[in-house]
Amino acid sequence: MSINSKKRSERSSCVVATCKHYASKTKEEGFDISFHRFPIKNIEICNMWVHKCRRGDKWNPKTSLIYSKHFTQDSFVRNLKAELLGYTPKVRLLKPDAVPTLHLPPDHSQSITSSSAIN
Ligand SMILES: [Zn+2]
């Protein structure tokens, strides 16, 4: 199975349901941002990402991106070289087990954790 990345969407945007981040817009704001592909090779982690996005419509994780603001700082692999030389790396890597946790739609399942026995 090969992933064909030739077919790019005309605009990059964050896939999180309540999120309105667009690559073009966020660049203008000058933040230290990046967009990250779903870890489709790691099904377990990928499913967690999908769950966090809370999208009600049909969408394809393979072609979707998540904005870096949904990840805590320690979700990223440290670029020691960049830190040493004092520059901000253009490409930031997420740790293999990183999951988005910030600025996400409310998790409704949290209120029913006490009744998990009914499951
Ligand atoms: Zn977002």
Backbone angles phi, psi at 13, to 5 degrees: -140, 160
CA of 48 to the centre of ligand 1 (A): 15
pLDDT tops 50 at residue 111: no
Give 115 Cα–ligand 1 centroid separation in angstroms. Answer: 31
| Mean pLDDT score, 20-43 | 74
- How far apart are the CA of 93 and the centre of ligand 1, in A? 17
Determine the 3-state secondary structure of 15 from DSSP.
coil
Residues 16, 96: Cα–Cα separation, whole Å: 19
Q: How confident is the model over 42-53, as pLDDT tens digits? A: 999 999 999 999
Look at 4-13, 34-43, 63-72, 94-103 and tell me which has the smallest mean pLDDT.
Answer: 4-13
Residues bordering ligand 1, an ion, CB closer than 5 Å: 14, 16, 19, 21, 67
Q: What is the DSSP string of 28-83?
A: HHT-S--EEE--TTSHHHHHHHHHHHT--S---GGG-EEEGGGS-GGGBPP-HHHH
Provide the pLDDT confidence category of residue 31 given band limits of 50, 70 and 90: low
pLDDT attached to residue 8: 44
CA of 112 to the centre of ligand 1 (A): 26
- Compute the CA torsion angle 69, 78, 34, 8 (nearest 10 deg): -130
**pLDDT at residue number 27:** 54
**Which pLDDT value is given to residue 119?**
46
Distance 2 CA to ligand 1 centre (A): 27
